[in-house]
Chains A and B, each alone.
Chain A
């Protein structure tokens, strides 16, 4: 039986069953709405498969296939085969394909907001702090918490000026 997306009425490909206090709730969403809802359920899909899909979906598939890292020499094809990166620089070299991959794997996120090494250089620390504030700002705006948003904007301005 084909379900229609609860949000937009297109064909639903994501089906969720939630059990809240013993009651079953079903949700049917199309791929796009599932992503915008922050719902992606194929979290155990192997990376190679996600990569394959990304390449097939991408008009720039051929371009992706030619990517490689000039530090460790890893090619995109090798990454696709083994699902492992070759060196820290790969996060730069393959950024184009990694960002959508990370978003799939991490509930839509591609920015780090956690701990920063104590010995990270000052510039790196400032950048990381700015990123964190921006992500908090985005969240505050989404939650219509304008007081917090204004406060965060001030902090960002201050940090950028320093």
Chain B
């Protein structure tokens, strides 16, 4: 398939039911694995890099990944298509920008993505809508066993699964949630909440992971410790102690906003809807910011006539590569601003009024 066709598809995983979806946009779990008897990528010769990429591509083609599966050769892909994969969370920005033979196998309605030759030979990830860490990990474990039937991974009894960067060694497991923390942002408590998260050995990053700034009040929180705890311990600690704490902070901030600043809040959300429905030029940052307000309005029942699905879809479609693939031409940032405003205006008027609110006020 052509990668640009991805824009015509919805990410199936994002459409499913989303437990705790008012705060948790998505859950992700990933494993880092390397082939035994092979150097890590930074010490591979060009021939070895091709050998690994080819071997893993073949293996991924025959292990029986779930659902419709395709393999994208990231090295050969157009830069815009690489960016498209990043925007859909199927590859990391690092992998998009890297050099040499590399790729990604995508399966199960984009819920499964297996990156080849990123920082490690293999990075297997599972995505789910809302808070579904257990289900992410169960699927990941199944995939790991499937791959182990065909491959031998570098492993030591002391250090566990061996990875290029010592921060991933052991289980190789990184779990993360994408959180919508707009009320904490508004009440100015976000720093406090995130500092608490960092003190609990978590990494807090932006929408597209490492090295990106949070946009649209979306924060990715993930575990840091991969060694000395079992996979189940890592997941349960994250699920039971970390995530509920942050959700609770956000819930309280929302409650406080509703109680103390209801009209101001409603005003903001209504204005967000009004700007999105009438702007003629808009940047992706501003769009994400305003969509975030609508998302908040929706979860507080201050907005009607627009579905969460529309917001999710727009959040993806307004990203630069999606926008350019959708319109079928490469555009300058100014042209994108116009195309983006057109797209948002059309979707929101088709989807009904936003921000008119029946939540009482």
Contact = CB atoms under 8 A, between A and B. Distances in A.
A106 B198 contact: no
Contacts of B13: none
Interface residues of A, number: 48
A70 B40 CA distance: 15
Interface in A106-150: 106-120, 124-125, 127-128, 131, 135
B229 interface: yes
A131 B158 contact: yes
Most B Cβ at <10 Å: residue of A84, A92, A110, A135: A84
A120 B155 contact: yes
Interface in B230-255: 230-231, 234, 252
Contacts of A115: 141, 144, 171, 230-231
A119 B152 contact: yes
Given A86-B39, A106-B170, A117 B227 contact: no
A16 B192 CA distance: 12
Nearest to A38: B201
A43 B201 contact: yes
Interface in B152-203: 152-167, 169-171, 173, 192-193, 195-196, 198-199, 201-203
B195 to A, nearest CB: 7
Contacts of B12: none
B236 to A, nearest CB: 13
A74 to B, nearest CB: 6
Nearest to A41: B199
Interface string B116-135: 00010000000000000000
A157 to B, nearest CB: 19
B155 A105 contact: no
Contact of B225 (A22, A41, A101, A109): A109
Contacts of B193: 19
B228 interface: yes
16 contacts: A18-B199, A39-B199, A47-B165, A84-B165, A85-B40, A85-B166, A88-B37, A91-B169, A105-B224, A109-B225, A112-B171, A115-B144, A115-B171, A117-B161, A120-B155, A120-B157
Interface of B: 34, 36-40, 42-43, 119, 141, 144-145, 148, 152-167, 169-171, 173, 192-193, 195-196, 198-199, 201-203, 224-231, 234, 252
- Pairs of residues from A and B, 6 with the lowest C-beta to C-beta distance, nearest first: A109-B228, A112-B160, A86-B43, A127-B157, A114-B171, A88-B154
Given A102-B159, A114-B171, 9 more contacts: A18-B196, A43-B201, A83-B165, A108-B228, A109-B227, A112-B228, A116-B157, A117-B153, A131-B158
